[in-house]
Amino acid sequence: MFQETRIAFLYCVSPVHMGTGTAVGGLIDNPIQRERHTEYPMMAGSGIKGAIRHDYWAQHEDRKLLKRLFGPENDASDHAGALSFSDGQLLAFPVRCAKAGFVYATSPLLLARLQRQLAMAKVQVDWTVPSIASGHCQIVNPDLMTENKLALEAYELQAKEERTVKPITDWLAANALPQSDEFSFFREKLANDLVLLSDDELHYFVVNSTVVEPHVRIDDVSGTADGGALFYTENLPPESLLFSVILASQERYKKGDSADNRMNAEQVMQTLINGGEQWQALNGRMVQFGGDATTGRGQIVCSVIGGSNE
* pLDDT at 216 (0 to 100): 79
Could you read off the pLDDT of 183-241 as tens digits, one per residue? 999 999 999 999 999 999 999 999 999 988 887 777 777 766 676 678 888 999 999 99
Query: Residue 147: how many CA atoms within 13 Å on its side-chain side?
Result: 1
**Residue 309 scores a pLDDT above 60:** no
Sorted by sequence, the CB contacts under 8 Å of residue 49 that are 6+ apart come out as 70, 83, 84, 85
| Per-residue pLDDT at 232 | 85
DSSP character for 251?
P
Q: In whole angstroms, give the CA distance from residue 185 to residue 195.
A: 17
Interatomic CA distance for residues 250 and 3, integer angstroms: 8
Could you tell me which residues are beta bridge partners of residue 243? 9, 89
Q: What's the mean pLDDT in 7-15?
A: 97
Contact 291, 19 (CB under 8 A): yes
pLDDT in tens, 253-280: 777 677 678 889 999 999 899 887 767 8
Better-scored residue on pLDDT, 61 or 107: 107
Between CA 136 and CA 292, with CA 42 as vertex, the angle to 5 degrees is 120
Q: Is the pLDDT at 24 greater than 60, yes or no?
A: no
Which residue, among 267, 269, 298, has the nearest Cα to 283 in the 3D structure? Answer: 269
